Amino acid sequence: MQINLKEIVPSYFERNSVTNSEIWGKTISFDEGSHIHIVAPSGSGKTSLIHFIYGLRKDYSGTLSYDDKNIANFSLDLFSSFRQTSISIVFQDMRLFADQNVRQNIEIKRQLAPYHPPEKIEEMANRLGIGNKLARITNSCSYGEKQRIAIIRSLMQPFKFLLLDEPFSNLDDNNRAKAMELIAEECAARKASMIFVDLKELDFFAGQRILRL
Amino acid sequence: MNYKNIQSLLSTSQNKLSRWISYFGLGIGVLLLLCSMQMFVNIKHLLKENNPRKNGFDFISITKVITNENMGKDNSFKEDEIIDLKAQPTIEDVAPLIANQYRVKGSAGNIIPFSTDLFLESINNDFIDSVPPAFRWHEGQTDIPIIFSSDFLELYNVFAPSQDLPQLSDKTISSINIVIECYGPQGLQKFRGNVVGLTERINSILVPKSFMDWSNKYFSGVTSVNPSRVFIKTRDANNPDLLTYVQQKNYHLNKDKTKFGRIKKLLQSIISGLGLFGVLVILLALMLFSFYLQLMIAKSKDNLQLLLTLGYSPNWLSKTMASTWIPVYIGVVLVSILLVFVLQFAFVHFLFAEQGDLSYSLHWTVLLVALLLLFLSIYSNYRMVKKELYKIG
């Protein structure tokens, strides 16, 4: 699978204000298996880009396609099938079911297209240090814990691309390293790509493709 | 994937009252509709046997209305008027009643001392309710087969005792030889009349058409006669188009013959009204339930939106959500069918048990409609949920 961006510019941006960007207004492709790190300061449209690729927003000009299929023409049902098997995501704002417990939040994604057995939830939670929080109502978890729940949830399904929108913003260095290790393992197991957007460059991506938005 | 996992994300426990009211309303609506359908079938069945119809047709006599203005004028039907009658889409066929154009006198010989002036008429055999094989005549035959009106026999039996005449049954009338005397310029000719059958439909003394044609020509020299009354064959004597046409032309229609049709029509109209009311109640109940669903979706909007974002398809969600209420709808329709069955049982058992011509079981169309309603309810819920999900997706 390939994700192609052809002269994408958010409709709320002036076209001449994005001339320095390596993504906005350019033609660019993300191939399966390659990791892309997108770095940009606040307000440059990182979350918008992730939402455009995931199909949540359409307020842009240009063409965005999965392989040669323009996603502007996708139905909600077609997006669903891609979201079940080909594209997974960690939102910046996590987007968890606040009244459900941690396990339920992860399980609801796992059941949609089971890639791992249920025991894997416990294993991953232990690795990220939230193993004892599985029965807890999500609303009562801290931001850092919520971020780890969202990461584990995103890894429960098969995918070819993993979209990560500032997924470590509330994690300390230690937890950040653990999370990055887990994500990298899961991507490798699937031979999948990750598109990682953040405010600053991460050590993990040293020597790899880094784009400035 | 199953519904249990997502059920806790939907506010299904909200607005329980409106949900239960909609179930109850749906039950009442389905009951009314199915009940009226079954009654419609019952009435059709009950009145079928009393209706003087032949192969699903009504046969009615039409004459011109005699008024003070047209009294004494020629009030017979002209050829173009008969053609016009035939051209009406509501009229399947037309047959004139041809009357004798000479004097006829009838007597019962020596057995019954009774003599009277008579009139004879003939009509196409197709229009006679039952034509006995003996009802045929050829030139030279002195016996004339007669089909006698049951009403006339009844009239005779009413006045016979006061005239010291014997009353006659359906069977004995056929054994009486009636002497028919026809008068023409050549003088008197006698024939022997035999009643070979009785008719409920035509108030007349019918002879074979071959005799009427021959005798009119022989005794009065007339070859073509304009009839004073015609019989029409129609699928529905109560058709408003037919009645309007008859009224416009100032024709008189024998309304008594359509008595059962009119009663049936009236009863079926009342029951249709009841059925229509049932449909209205069903629609209202479905609407109420759709409001409940809309409210539930609105209250669970954030969760549903997140489910869609995570990859749950709106198609699967709507199917799963709509199928949750299938057992409830099946229950409502089954209870309604059961109640209609009990009502039908009571109707047949207490009112028509002796006649034995009504079935205790429900008509298949009633069951089919119940099935269709079930499908309609589930499908309308599915469509509604899907539409709402697409709105928030």
pLDDT in tens, A94-124: 999 998 999 999 999 999 889 999 999 999 9
Q: Do B303 and A76 touch (CB under 8 A)?
A: no
Chain A residues at the B interface, defined by Cβ less than 8 Å, are 56, 76-77, 80-84, 95, 97, 99-100, 104, 107-109, 111-113, 157
* Bridge partners of residue B192, in order along the sequence: B143, B179
Query: Of B234, B249, B284, which one is at a domain's C-terminal end?
Result: B234
Print burial letters for B307-332: b (CB count within 10 Å at least 16), e (below 16). bbbbbbbbbbbbebbbeebeeebeeb
DSSP letter (8 states) at residue A26? S
User: Interhelix angle for B301-310 vs B259-299, to 10°?
Assistant: 80
Q: Does domain A2-212 have CATH number 3.40.50.300?
A: yes
Closest CA to A164 of A186, A135, A131: A186
* List of chain A residues whose C-beta atoms are within 8 Å of the C-beta of residue B8: 99-100, 104
Is B220 in the same domain as B312? no
Q: With respect to residue B248, please indicate whether it lies within any of the assigned structural domains.
A: no
User: CA A143, CA A98: separation in Å to the nearest integer?
Assistant: 12
pLDDT (tens digit, 0 to 9) for every residue of chain B, 393 residues total? 666 777 778 766 666 787 788 788 888 888 888 888 888 888 777 766 554 445 667 788 888 888 887 777 778 888 888 899 899 888 889 999 999 989 999 887 766 777 888 889 999 888 888 888 889 999 889 999 999 888 888 888 888 888 888 888 888 888 888 889 999 888 888 899 988 988 888 888 999 999 999 999 988 888 888 888 898 888 777 676 787 888 888 888 866 655 665 676 677 788 888 888 888 888 888 887 788 788 888 888 888 999 999 999 888 888 888 888 888 889 988 999 999 999 988 888 887 766 666 788 888 888 998 899 889 888 888 888 888 888 887
Q: With respect to residue B199, please indicate whether it lies within any of the assigned structural domains.
A: yes
Q: Do B310 and A108 touch (CB under 8 A)?
A: yes
Q: Where are the domains of chain A?
A: 2-212
Is B114 in the same domain as B188? yes
Q: With respect to residue B241, please indicate whether it lies within any of the assigned structural domains.
A: no
Is B212 in the same domain as B344? no
Number of residues that make up chain B: 393
Q: Do B313 and A77 touch (CB under 8 A)?
A: yes
The H-or-E segment that residue B118 falls in is strand B112-118
Interface test with B, best of A88, A97, A109 (most B CBs within 10 A): A97
CB pairs A-B closer than 8 Å: 49
Which structural domain, as residue segments, surrounds residue B351?
Answer: 3-50+262-392
Is B207 in the same domain as B275? no
And the tokens for B267? 């009863």
Closest CA to B290 of B15, B67, B71, B78: B15
Cβ neighbours of residue B270 closer than 8 Å, sequence gap 6 or more = none
ipTM tops the 0.90 cut: yes
Q: With respect to residue B162, please indicate whether it lies within any of the assigned structural domains.
A: yes
Q: Are A24 and A213 in contact (CB under 8 A)?
A: yes
Inform me whether the C-beta atom of residue B315 falls under 8 Å from chain A C-beta atoms: yes
Terminal C-alpha separation, chain A: 23
The H-or-E segment that residue B110 falls in is none
Q: For chain B, how many structural domains are there in total?
A: 2
Interface test with B, best of A57, A75, A80, A90 (most B CBs within 10 A): A80
Percent of chain A exceeding pLDDT 90 equals 67
Q: With respect to residue B239, please indicate whether it lies within any of the assigned structural domains.
A: no
DSSP letter (8 states) at residue B41? H
User: CA A116, CA A118: separation in Å to the nearest integer?
Assistant: 6
* Bridge partners of residue A6, in order along the sequence: A27, A63
User: CA A161, CA A172: separation in Å to the nearest integer?
Assistant: 25
* List of chain B residues whose C-beta atoms are within 8 Å of the C-beta of residue A77: 313-315
Q: Are B5 and A105 in contact (CB under 8 A)?
A: no
Residue A33, Cβ density class (10 Å: 0-12 exposed, 13-18 middle, ≥19 buried): middle
Q: Is a pLDDT exceeding 80 seen at residue A68?
A: yes
